[in-house]
Amino acid sequence: MRQAMQHAREGHGPTFLEMAITRSQPAVLLPYGRDLSNVVQYAPPQSNAGKLFDPLVRCQHILQEQGIWDEEWAAQLSTRMMTEVERALQNALRDTLQSK
């Protein structure tokens, strides 16, 4: 990541980064702005309760603490994702009904 950032800062363009993120639980689609504290915090039997958080929400918190989180962008992204998921569900239902 550091090398990719340095590469971009030197004017050499973007770098594709592939990352594997292990979520603490299955992804949950919730309306943007909802308090997620009771959703993302979990306590697996082998871990210390309350110390593990969903990495994507943790990233959001870090960006907010640094003052670089963009609420407008996040709201637009959430709306777009919810629209795409709803459209996919409707298409899947339509396709299922048509195949019968």
The residue segments making up the domain with residue 37 are 25-99
Task: Look at residue 14 and tell me if it is in a domain.
Answer: no
Phi, psi of 61 (to 5 degrees): -65, -40
pLDDT confidence of residue 52: 52
pLDDT confidence of residue 56: 78
Task: Look at residue 74 and tell me if it is in a domain.
Answer: yes
Task: Look at residue 34 and tell me if it is in a domain.
Answer: yes
Helix (H, G, I), strand (E, B) or coil at 10: coil
Q: What is the distance between the alpha carbons of residues 33 and 30, in angstroms, rounded to a whole number? A: 8
Q: What is the pTM of this model?
A: 0.44
Q: What is the distance between the alpha carbons of residues 50 and 42, in angstroms, rounded to a whole number? A: 6
pLDDT confidence of residue 53: 66
pLDDT confidence of residue 26: 54
Task: Look at residue 13 and tell me if it is in a domain.
Answer: no
pLDDT confidence of residue 83: 93
What parts of the chain have a pLDDT lower than 50? Answer: 28-32, 36, 38-51
pLDDT confidence of residue 99: 79
Nearest to 33 by CA among 69, 87, 84: 69
Q: How many domains does the chain have?
A: 1
